[in-house]
Structure 1
């Protein structure tokens, strides 16, 4: 059965596309929508961004029918979320479906690895914003969330920061964390987690702490990347020179910084054939420059790719200087004659 095309021309890349296919309980659906619209982890700075398809034309649609109905125009879509019969019961788990196909991969092994934990998994409605934010930023892949769901009670992903039920089996750690970098640079085969890299002049410090990454200037935070990373995550420069994010159990995917502060400016970071940020490869090391830039370099310390943090630091200085100039000058009472 052919379903109507879902128009996505006005969608953003961080929107979650939620398609309702079960219409047996309107009260349950209203509860699902309320849960979906909660900000991530209760933080109003990270609001939910959902696009709901609530149309009886999709009643009873299978996952394949939903995928076939998704319009081709619009931003890249890595997952579709389906509210089916199971969603209307219990803790209202939503079905996440990967849009990846064999044609999207260069070879069979790549596709098989991406589908190791299946094309579908279920997640709590309150975890969808966490997932879509990380997918949009390129911080995590669909398979990482599917892997986590496979370890959770009931095989439902509830969020990396969600409270775990008593008796949950802890995840197996990755032995790669036994190869940490020093405080000057991250080299091939080394990891960077809950540690810091210091610029040669000692002014700047790139810090990894509890899954977040920040740059500090003389101890003051001046740049933060992707605060929604999961605790226990860190960086790994693999033997081929690709910079990766790694979960505490070792699942890896490319690290692509947030370049929102560089809109309209040239960014020294690779792109794929579609113009999207691509994995940074062929680096010998990651280090911090004396001007605050975090760079991936070759064997002669020449910059290959850059986080462009120096530009961010300069912008902050300009904004601070502007605010000082605009501050009112206090008036002084005239002295008596």
Structure 2
């Protein structure tokens, strides 16, 4: 019987291993040779040539790297700058709005001080309002204010104002009321009639204040008997009797002792006296008023 031998059973890794070992020894020998040659200075010309060849390329690569870095920095920096700019703009907008609110509050401060003074001096319950439409030259002296029925304003309520160092003086009476506005009949209107009396005397003189807008926004005190003489310079205030007098002016809720004006001149005819009255406040010039809605 013949025995066969398969060469494929022989290990094939031995030649491959020997080749790898030979290559490694060759590389080590070359490296050792290069080290020896470099120490002897033999490779200096080669190194110099390689350096001169590679230096421009290395410089260009460095410039590209720096340019890329600057570009990326600019992109990221611009994004951060835009975010910071947006934040600052929002902050400026908020500060401007706050400044507007503070200026509005500062503008209201004198009015609030005046209202506090009015309430403290006269013990009135008042409602601040603004004149949104002034009087016209159509024969009637009416103004419109921005407070109405929803704010508690009623027909017949007295409306006062201040001008300079004047006291809080009567300038009109609510004649018509809407939901959020009201029309005020000025005391200078020829149809305005209000019960009044002199103040500052032991015996006040009672009469009627009627409007005389045609005569320079003056008033006239009429229907005064000669029992108590009138004198120039006397103050005139409301008497609080208008409701009982049944006049055409809706004055049912005018309280007494509301300042009106000062006597300028007095005329006597028979048993009756009349006097020209200068109002403390010119109703045509007011822009802020207070409606007397009650008394404390």
Higher helix share: 2
TM-based fold match above 0.5: no
Higher relative CO (Cα under 8 Å, sequence separation at least 6) belongs to 2
TM-score by length of 2: 0.25
TM-score by length of 1: 0.23
| Structure number with bigger Rg | 2
